[in-house]
Structure 1
Amino acid sequence: MPTVPDTEYIHKCTSACAGCSSDLILRHVLKAAGPDTVLVVPACCTSVLQGVYPNTSFGIPVYNVAFASAAAVASGMAAAFEELGKKTNVIAYAGDGGTVDIGIQALSGALERGTNFLYICYDNEAYGNTGMQRSGSTPLGARTTTTPGGKPHPKKDLDRIIAAHNLPYMATSCSAYPQDLVKKVEKALSINGPKFMHVLAPCPPGWRYDASKTIEVGKLAVRSGIWAMYEREYDTLTISGQTKAAMMKPAPLEDYLKMQGRFSGLKPEQITEIRQSMERNLRLLKLEAEGTC
């Protein structure tokens, strides 16, 4: 695992909630990227945690844009830097609402055009910035402000949608594994062309757990297998060690679900459906990594 750089590009005056893991993710993303980086941020929690104008908690340039346009703006920015002969890292950093739902058309277009940028979706599985409404990434049975009885539909399979664009690099990670995150960001930024990362970002107020448990919840998501970590380079899939371990000896799925108040109303048949979906995903990933799928 890589050594995490010491330099900080996010300072202590953020407006993040206690236990915020998207703040933790961005901290390590920027450590990996370094100072010659520009962030493109659509409407999301990151728009808020920057702080109140005219002050900012970020030590690099940030371009705040409309909800649907992060990938489109990043495309223009990457083209401008290329024209100027600059190697500046262009990173679009968006939540699941701005990626899975509102921004997916711009993201698909940028990937299809071969934009040289890194798009990172930090996934707290709802619209956290506006009160925790359900998104296309909200899991089956999860309570949100717009699904108070639990979401009746499973989450959208974003990663396989992205994989269909045949990227040179895409990866998944989790806020609870910062060294894995740094390694994958560094690798992504070393590759020319469009790169995508999908990072699980547990959210204490939205997921309804104590703020001190953010790392524990993230690790349990991976250890149970509900969140898989891997890298994909075109058609080659490599499963990360933490997920290989979960495939061999998973932590109980129920332990992960019981830690979060948003799953308090789950029915037994919903738990069965969640488990079957998780097992199918891991099975398909294993077959693909072995070259038999």
Structure 2
Amino acid sequence: MKPAEFEHHAVDSVEEAVGLLTELADDDVKVLAGGQSLVPLLALRLASVGHLVDVNGVTELATIADGDGLAIGATVRHRQVERSPEVAAANPLLAAAVRRIGHAAIRNRGTIGGTVAHADPAAELPAVLTLLDGSVEVRGTGGGRTIAAADLFDGYFTTTLEPEELLTAVHVPALPAGTGWAVQQFSRRSGDYGIVTVLATLALDGDGRISAARVAYAGVDAVPLRSPVAETALVGQTASAELWTAVGHDAAVVLEPASDLNGSAEYRRHLAATLTARALQQASERAGVRA
């Protein structure tokens, strides 16, 4: 199939893009970046648009800055993040999560901003932002603003961006020195969407006790989730295989995932428990303690 007719607008500045989004707000306008989610929907006529605002020519959206954490422009490709030495040094968890996105051909075209704005609850990048208290930078007719990840994702494929706002950058904090991290995911085949993904970070003191912990999930709700159950249970405890198993179980039983063609709610909870234990084990090892 081919997409329904639409008008293509190639822009070379954020201001021009925002102007068109505002002007065409009543005419089914969408932003085109990598197109790895939008274009298949258009081609299959599962979605239609009157106008596409193509931001691939906006050079300010295609940079990676390493200062106070990472500031990644919206049109930076997944492959760039995957291969960036700056990203690997500042936040190896982010680089590892990006490697889980689809296949190489998809990562060559797909963009950081597009993935976050698409807000797929099974996607890796929204979960990374949720885990690490990341944020996004947006620009609209009223100027710019920053939206914390906790305030960005509002349901299945839904964000709190206004219709005329353009996501311009994603901010991901650097991992503190000595932090252990892990990305665990289960999918049917390599390159498929993760049915459940678990992300974790751990910091350990000199006695092997956990001084800080973060755990987040993708694929278990309408938005990516942090796990206060897991995080509270971990802090102050001594790293051990028994602890990982117990925390994985306790964190999973309170999840309320939906059942779909990829698995029942019960199956997703089982995956969450198993992957949580594995993620905590791996994060502990990377923090310097094998339990």
- TM-score relative to the length of structure 2: 0.31
**Quick check: which has more Rg, 1 or 2?**
2
- TM-score relative to the length of structure 1: 0.31
Higher helix share: 1
Looking at both structures, which has the greater relative contact order when contacts are Cα pairs under 8 Å and sequence separation is at least 6? 1
Higher strand share: 2
